Amino acid sequence: MNVQAAGTQTLRSGTQKIGTRTGGTRKVTSIEIFTQERKFRSKQNVVKPQPKILTKVQELRLLSKLEKAGLLSLLEKNGVTLSAIEKSGILSTAESLGLVSAAADRNTPTALFILSALLLIAGPAVVYFVPEDNAAEIAIQVIAALTCIVGGSAAYGSANLLSNLQK
């Protein structure tokens, strides 16, 4: 397979002779994107297994870090214990709403990042577009901005935590 183009010649050995005066050669690499029938190769889907969230929590020693930070003792002083959580039915409610399975879904961090961006943009947008003619409109601006900032920050933090746990 010899091809002549502007003083260059492609050889069968996979090297390319450059010009006639320099005498240099270089290795040529090609990537096949068509099959023999001139059709695009189909993309091979690689299915990743579901992440093991609890194993990653254990590897990162997150509960130990919470204990060292004093958050677990603070929760216990305020009456929030594992037995109280179990009695209240929070875990079964979270499972029925799909929150536990969403933590293992690989698309959840991306959705949370998008939600956080939308909320963090919506807060200033409300302040900009809502007029300031009376006290009620100013109150709407303050409440909407604070809600968007808190919600956007929480969504960003959750997305970051989930993406780290799913690695």
What strands, in cross-sheet order, belong to the sheet with 15-18?
Answer: 4-5, 8-10, 15-18, 24-27
Residues above pLDDT 90, as percent of the chain = 31
**C-alpha to C-alpha distance for 91 and 99, rounded to whole angstroms:** 9
Q: For residue 138, what are the contacts with CB-CB under 8 A and spacing of at least 6?
A: 132
Average pLDDT over residues 113-118: 96
Condensed to tens digits (0 to 9), the pLDDT of residues 65-114 reads 888 888 888 888 888 887 888 888 888 888 888 887 888 888 889 999 99
**C-alpha to C-alpha distance for 140 and 143, rounded to whole angstroms:** 5
**C-alpha to C-alpha distance for 151 and 167, rounded to whole angstroms:** 24
Residue 93 has which token pair? 């409610």
Name the more confident of 79 and 28: 79
Contact 112, 158 (CB under 8 A): yes
Residue 2: pLDDT over 80: no
**C-alpha to C-alpha distance for 64 and 151, rounded to whole angstroms:** 27
